[in-house]
Structure 1
Amino acid sequence: MCVTPHIVYIYIHILLVVVVIGGRLWWQMAEFVHLVVVKFKEEVVVEDVIKGLEKLVSEVDSVKSFVWGKDIESMEMLRQGFTHALVMTFSSKDDFNAFQAHPNHVEFSTTFSAAIDKIVLLDFPVVTVKPPPT
């Protein structure tokens, strides 16, 4: 069998997740997640930053979903000062890269960076263990 570079490229860039539900085999496209855990500076109006993020993700088509939340349960020693988690989901790493390079993201990054005291970023392909109910 002759494998062309084009075919290899397709195999490398299409990630599939195989899930067995009720004895049936399901295929789904793997997603890519951008997870941000942040502690904002004390003087920052967090609601304004979140509104800016909501506006940003509504303007960029490559963002599949965006959720965020403020921690209300963790003990301070475990939280280590971090207060908010932001999660963006993309259909692929290529869509994530498109988001990173999008002019609206580049522009907003300056505002976001100025509001941050501490941050942790994780960018990863999703491994589905328990898919949402259908």
Structure 2
Amino acid sequence: MIRHILLIKFKDQATESEIAELKALFEAIPSKIEGVVAVEWGVNDSPEGKNKGFTHSVLMTFADEAARQRYLPHPEHDALKVVFRPILEDLIVLDYQSNPKRLTNKEKLCT
């Protein structure tokens, strides 16, 4: 699996309805693009104050590399960009291979 993380900083003039529209588009992606397993939308609620203006996140899970390669040039991804770009101040994108490790009971006690 591949995790695709977006950290989002919206422009000050971005409206709640524009952000809600973007959220709905992201959340519809798994039903429209084969191999996109899940999409999670999040709003920062960290009390640490270290988000540097990034207020929202998206965590997308691809089944495999082929799914990521289908997503990137897909018309639904392009439709996201049409809504996203005008309200976007800054964006961080990070992808990584997910290989979850199950902790043993001993490892759980040590953490």
State the TM bucket, normalised to the shorter chain.
0.7 to 0.9
The correspondence of residues 9-24 of structure 1 with structure 2, limited to 5 A, is none
Give 1:93's aligned residue.
65
Return the offset for 1:89. 0.3
1:32 aligns with 2:2: yes
Give 1:114's aligned residue.
86
Return the offset for 1:57. 3.5
2-structure distance, mates of 1:57, 1:111: 18
1:56 aligns with 2:29: yes
2-structure distance, mates of 1:61, 1:74: 37
Q: Mark the structure with the bigger radius of gyration.
A: 1
Does structure 2 retain, via aligned residues, the 8 Å contact 1:35–1:123? yes
Return the offset for 1:48. 1.9
How well do the aligned residues superpose, as a CA RMSD in angstroms?
1.7
1:83 aligns with 2:55: yes
3-state SS of paired residue (2:36): coil
TM-score (norm 2): 0.79
Return the offset for 1:52. 2.1
The correspondence of residues 61-80 of structure 1 with structure 2, limited to 5 A, is 61-76=34-49, 78-80=50-52
Question: How many residue pairs are counted as aligned between the two chains?
Answer: 100
Does structure 1 retain, via aligned residues, the 8 Å contact 2:29–2:39? no
Give structure 2 stretches of 5+ with no counterpart. 104-111
2-structure distance, mates of 1:51, 1:69: 12
Extract structure 1 runs of 4+ deviating beyond 6 A.
none
Q: Which has the higher contact order (CA 8 A, sep 6+)?
A: 2
How much identity, in percent, do the aligned residues show?
22
3-state SS of paired residue (2:29): helix
TM-score (norm 1): 0.67
